[in-house]
Amino acid sequence: MDTSAFLHRLGLAQHDGPSVEALFALHTAFAESVPYETVQYQLGHGGPLDPIESAERIISREAGGYCFQLNGAFSALLTALGYQVTLHRGGVQTSSRPAQVDSSHLVLTVSGLPDAPEQEWFVDVGLGDGLLVPLALEPGDHRQDPYDLVLRPSDIVDGWRLDHDPRSSMVGMDFESAPATMSDFEAQHAVLSVAPDSPFVRVC
C-alpha cells in the first residue's frame, strides 16, 4: 500500500507519528473524504474484503466502500503509520434489525498512543453517518454535529454499545471487546456484497 498516496487522497500532506491529535486528524480526513457507498454492489460483481485492495481502490477514487472496506483500509493505513490497531466483531441495530453481534460490522480500536498510553479509542469510519472523530473508549455522551451519540457498555456482549441519534437510520451498534481478524468477516461479506436481498445490493 502506498501510504503517501493514501494520505494525499485524504488531503493530508504528511504524518509526523502517532498521537491523539494525529489520530483525530486522520479520522476526520477519512470520514470527510471517503464515502460510505454501495454503488459498487449494483453491478453484481461484489467487491474486495482485503484491506489493501480496498485501500488501492479508495486511493484511485474507483470506490469508497462499506464498513469492512472502509474500516479495513483505515486499519491498514493506521498500522502502516505505526498505530496499534485492534479489529472487533460488531453488529448494527436498525428499526427492522435487532441488536446483535454477528460480524456484520467491523469496528476498530486504537491503543498505546505515546501521549495517552493508557487510553483506548473507539475508531470507526465505516458507519456512514457515524463518527467524525474517535471516541475515548469509556462511557459518555458526545455531540458530533448533526448527531448526539452515546457510548456505553453493551447489554448483549462483553463489549460496547454506540447509541445513535434518533434521526439516523441506525438505532445503534454493539461490538465485542475481543479482538477479531479479517477472516471473521468473510462469510458476512460474501453475502452482504452480492446477495440480491442484501440491503447493500437492494438500494445504492
Cis, bond preceding 166 (omega within 30 deg of 0): no
Task: Please give the torsion angle defined by the CA atoms of residues 29, 111, 187 and 169, in that order, rounded to the nearest 10 degrees.
Answer: -50
100: contact with another protein by CB under 8 A: no
Beta-carbon contacts of 53 under 8 Å, excluding residues fewer than 6 positions away, are: none
> Would you state the cell numbers that stand for residue 84, as one nine-digit string?
496499534
How far apart (Å, rounded) are the C-alpha atoms in residues 100 and 95? Answer: 13
How far apart (Å, rounded) are the C-alpha atoms in residues 33 and 42? Answer: 22
Q: Among 62-70, 81-89, 93-101, 156-164, which window interacts with another protein (CB under 8 A)?
A: 62-70
Q: Among 16-24, 37-45, 80-88, 154-162, which window interacts with another protein (CB under 8 A)?
A: 37-45
202: contact with another protein by CB under 8 A: yes
- For residue 16, the 8-state DSSP code is -
Give φ, ψ of 87 to 5 degrees: -90, 150
32: contact with another protein by CB under 8 A: yes
Q: Among 84-92, 101-109, 142-150, 176-184, which window interacts with another protein (CB under 8 A)?
A: 142-150
Q: CB of residue 147 vs another protein: minimum separation in angstroms?
A: 8
Residues in contact with another protein, counted by CB under 8 A, come to a total of 25
- Which residues in 48-101 belong to E strands, given as ranges? 84-94
How far apart (Å, rounded) are the C-alpha atoms in residues 185 and 180? Answer: 9
Q: Out of 128, 135, 151, 161, point to the residue binding another protein (CB under 8 A).
A: 128
132: contact with another protein by CB under 8 A: yes
Q: Among 47-55, 91-99, 116-124, 129-137, which window interacts with another protein (CB under 8 A)?
A: 129-137
73: contact with another protein by CB under 8 A: no
Residue among 52 and 204 whose Cβ is closer to another protein = 204
Binding site for another protein (CB under 8 A): 31-37, 39, 42-43, 61-64, 128-130, 132, 145-147, 167, 202-204
